[in-house]
Amino acid sequence: MSLAWGQFAVDTPADGPVTLRAAAGAAAQPLVEVLTAGSGRGHVSARFSETTIGRRLRFAGSSADGAGLRIRLRDDESGLTAEVLLSGALQATTTITNDGPEPVLLLGVTTLAIGLGDPGDLDLISGDSEWLGEGRWTRRRLRDVVPDLNLRAHGQDGRGRHAVTSTGTWSTGAHQPSGVLVDRVTGHAVAWQVEHNGPWRWEVGERLDGAYLALTGPTDIDHQWRQPLAPGESFTTVPASIAAGPGLHGAVAALTAQRRTLRRPDPALPVVFNDYMNTLMGDPTTAKLLPLIDAAAAAGAEVFCVDAGWYDNDTTWWDSVGEWQPSTTRFPGGLAEVADRIRSHGMVPGLWLEPEVIGVRSPMADKLPAEAFLQRGGIRLVEHGRYHLDLRHPAATAHLDEVVDRLVEQFGAGYLKLDYNIDPGVGTDLGAAGAGAGLLDHNRAHLAWLDAVLARHPGLILENCASGGMRADYGLLSRMHLQSTSDQQDFRKYPPIAVSAPLSILPEQAASWAYPQPDMTDAEIVFTMCTGLLGRLYLSGRLDAMTDAQRELVRDGVDAYRRIRGDLAATVPVWPLGLPGWDDPWLALGLHAGDTTYLGLWRRAGAVAEVTVELDHLRGRRVDVDVLYPDRAVAWPLHWTGETGSLTVTTPPDEPYAARILRLRVTGPPTA
């Protein structure tokens, strides 16, 4: 019997494991893989394919309800049962229940595993990240990481795998929890994401009958995670989503649609000005802020966020944070004076907050019980001069609730930038079976705390930040309204981060900095403004020190964003020059919805003056092309060729850093 789930099929043979496949002829990879201390892998390896229990699990029924399609499995030998909830069309979780008579120790459970085609036909698209260098994506043949070992000649499944993992709480600090596999022969592609604000693992490998993909949260082998299950107890995995479509762009479009079913509605998409990046840099005062607030309002900002330092009476605040009381030396008339000035311009006041940490010199370090902090072996964890709150403890969440409620009620804060600048490692062993289990429970308590904050303050806008984009996962982004994409301060290096962002973050959530400065040329101001326009415009810069002409150029960029933001939440991304390379001289990102495509182009030092971009979704169409921003600069000659869907752009040779946002609109039926 076969059950349909979106573009996938669930096969339920009577004499074998249940399998999930996206195309005919895919490998018969078991849908669920389970590792326990008493029952490991059926074939020796370090991977999540062909576990002993995964081989034995058999179909035990299915049902559909408002939550989705439920697939029930049972292993008669161990007594373990599994229920895979396939929500809507694309999201999955797996719940393991011990229905046997003896305790079981779980060491790893897949959220989802799927069989794929011939590994020799597949390309793997994956992303690496680090501070200031987020979202560096590459496309390579799967055979580059899963070599052809001629398994059929040996008659055994492989033992190797290409496993990508994240440890600690910077869920995107080293690698992306998402990826795409594209079949070069059929053009069919599968995309995925693990939706967890803590450790995760995805892996691809080769079986005798083809390739497989397995998605998991924390595991014993990677993250010191284990979970005892007494008879009658259950464990549910972290969620993951999977999507399919034609080629890279089709699969990403399907995953983009799935992300929109997860995120919290935020229809206004206001222009945010933040005083930090290349501007006040954590040194706000009333004297510095008031003229900047006036200038931001004149530029069209709708939210003004006072970033780090507002709680600081001196310059050594890093290891003393935690009470979150306004400085009395920085704001002689009180922080309320600043908030009132923001509101007087019709803007929403915002504040930076790093809620999960307490500095080692903070008074809160002694006011809260020791059990309210992450610990190892009875010792509080310290990272970069900070303790880390354990949000499983009611005293920790009560403290944070008091802080948030006070800032909202006392200062009218309608926007909070929630930053996160440490990583506590594998977790806490206090009151848990192991450090990884304690961390998972803390991660889930963190999400529950955010849910409660938004339930109390439904109008509050929450920005997700972790030293830029170090924790940009859809466990958090299903709750947060926008995501800072980077802390990158060099405007010349930021475009590849912004261009790649829609591979992992919705365009309407991806907030890339635009930080124009008075010492920039007009072309450089346009360049940095364009970096922020095809996403959530995240504005900074010393606007108060600019000339009138410079401020007008910034205002034009804000106006351009306001004209397109109503379309952002319906757009899907395309990369007409291919995936962006970190040092590419030309970069391009397209966002299209209906008959309109917004195209961003960035030219960097060393680029040739002319470039042709291929927009396959517009091939054969009659198209009008106009410059959305800047509309007062020197014109770039543009030539559209409908038969090939290509746009040729010529730029002046004397601008080493130049950018434009173009709008392409279909004006008629396909050409003959």
Instruction: For strands 482-484 and 461-464, give the pairing.
Output: parallel
User: What is the reported pLDDT for 23?
Assistant: 82
pLDDT tens digit sequence for 537-557:
999 999 999 999 999 999 999
Cβ pair 528, 265 in contact under 8 A: no
Cβ pair 619, 613 in contact under 8 A: no
Indicate if the pLDDT at residue 668 is higher than 90.
Answer: no
**For residue 624, which amino acid is it?**
D
Say which residue, 121 or 157, is predicted with more confidence: 121
**264 φ, ψ (degrees, to nearest 5):** -75, 135
Question: Distance (Å, rounded) from C-alpha 634 to C-alpha 35?
Answer: 63
Residue (of 505, 499, 498) closest to 480 by Cα position: 505
The band of 672, judged by pLDDT with boundaries at 50, 70 and 90, is: low
Q: Where does residue 36 rank: exposed (0-12), middle (13-18), buried (19+ CB within 10 A)? A: buried
Residue with tokens 């970190």: 582
Distance (Å) of CA 344 to CA 285, 406, 532, 599: 18, 21, 26, 36
Cβ pair 271, 302 in contact under 8 A: yes
Cβ pair 660, 601 in contact under 8 A: yes
The band of 89, judged by pLDDT with boundaries at 50, 70 and 90, is: confident
User: What is the reported pLDDT for 7?
Assistant: 85
Backbone CA torsion sign across 392, 396, 401, 407: negative
**Average pLDDT over the chain, rounded to whole?**
96
Q: Around Cβ 220, how many Cβ atoms within 10 Å? A: 19
Residue with tokens 């995501």: 483
Indicate if the pLDDT at residue 669 is higher than 80.
Answer: no
Cβ pair 408, 151 in contact under 8 A: no
User: What is the reported pLDDT for 670?
Assistant: 67
Q: How many CA atoms lie within 13 A of 527 on its CB side?
A: 23
Residue (of 578, 589, 579, 588) closest to 137 by Cα position: 579
Question: Distance (Å, rounded) from C-alpha 623 to C-alpha 640?
Answer: 7
Distance (Å) of CA 159 to CA 120, 124, 222, 642: 17, 19, 17, 49
- What's the mean pLDDT in 260-285? 95
Question: Distance (Å, rounded) from C-alpha 240 to C-alpha 118?
Answer: 24
DSSP letter at 370 equals G
Query: Which tokens belong to 455?
Result: 């339930």
Cβ pair 619, 644 in contact under 8 A: yes
User: What is the reported pLDDT for 534?
Assistant: 98
Question: Distance (Å, rounded) from C-alpha 358 to C-alpha 4?
Answer: 49
pLDDT tens digit sequence for 585-639:
999 999 999 999 999 999 999 999 999 999 999 999 999 999 999 988 778 999 9
Strand order in the sheet with 586-593: 572-574, 586-593, 596-603, 658-668, 622-629
Instruction: For strands 80-87 and 68-74, give the pairing.
Output: antiparallel
pLDDT tens digit sequence for 349-365:
999 999 999 999 999 99
The band of 671, judged by pLDDT with boundaries at 50, 70 and 90, is: low
Cβ pair 501, 127 in contact under 8 A: no
250: left (phi over 0), alpha (psi -120 to 50) or beta: alpha
Q: Where does residue 70 rank: exposed (0-12), middle (13-18), buried (19+ CB within 10 A)? A: middle
Residue (of 122, 144, 123, 125) closest to 136 by Cα position: 125
Residue (of 11, 14, 40) closest to 28 by Cα position: 11
pLDDT tens digit sequence for 396-406:
999 999 999 99
Note if the bond before 630 is cis, omega within 30 degrees: yes
Cβ pair 638, 613 in contact under 8 A: no
Cβ pair 69, 90 in contact under 8 A: no
- What's the mean pLDDT in 641-653? 94
Indicate if the pLDDT at residue 144 is higher than 80.
Answer: yes
350: left (phi over 0), alpha (psi -120 to 50) or beta: beta
Q: How far is CA 35 from its chain centroid?
A: 28
Indicate if the pLDDT at residue 518 is higher than 70.
Answer: yes
Distance (Å) of CA 249 to CA 190, 261, 293, 507: 11, 19, 40, 14
The C-alpha R_g of the chain, in whole angstroms, comes to 26
User: What is the reported pLDDT for 379?
Assistant: 98
Question: Distance (Å, rounded) from C-alpha 646 to C-alpha 664?
Answer: 11
User: What is the reported pLDDT for 653?
Assistant: 82
Residue with tokens 């991304």: 573
Q: How far is CA 663 from its chain centroid?
A: 27
Least confident of 43-47, 182-186, 569-573: 43-47
Residue (of 265, 158, 169) closest to 211 by Cα position: 158
pLDDT tens digit sequence for 416-449:
999 999 999 999 999 999 999 999 999 999 999 9
